[in-house]
Amino acid sequence: MSSDQAGQALHLAEQLLALLELEASALAEQDLEQLQTLPGEKQSLLDALEQQQALLADYSPEQTAPLRRVLEQCQAANQRNGRVIHSQQASNKSLLSLLRGGDERLSTYTPLGSRTSAPSLSLGLA
């Protein structure tokens, strides 16, 4: 296995990590234009990494250690970004519900912190 192939796979993984960090920044800044371009770029890098996967089978654990570390960082960054996206979607859904006049059922929390819905009461019936 040539070190060029190992270096190429590592370089692709580092590019993916940089792109995930850029995505985190765009999420924090709510840069919609940037967020629209990133999925295509991420997919291109993932496709290139997948092509390298067949070559990785011949690597020794010592050769793949740096690559595995960067890929683990990519996974952590992707999970973090996913949590941010999920949180923003939930917030947007809540705000949209408020703009539309709210739901007929009020969402509350149980003593254990889980969500439950209760029917709303009009002041005349309370």
Hey, what domains does the chain have and what are their CATH numbers?
3-119 (1.20.58)
pLDDT higher for 33 or 58?
A: 33
**DSSP labels, 103-124:** -SEEEEE-TTS-EEEEE---TT
Q: Is residue 48 over pLDDT 70?
A: yes
Q: From residue 3, how far is each of 7, 55, 68 by CA, in Å?
A: 6, 11, 15
| Greatest alpha-carbon span in the chain | 79
Q: Please, which pLDDT band fits residue 105 given cuts at 50, 70 and 90?
A: low
Token pair, residue 12, equals 């692709």
pTM for the full predicted model: 0.72
**Whether the Cβ atoms of residue 49 and residue 14 lie closer than 8 Å to each other:** no
Please check the confidence at residue 114 and state whether its pLDDT lies above 80.
no
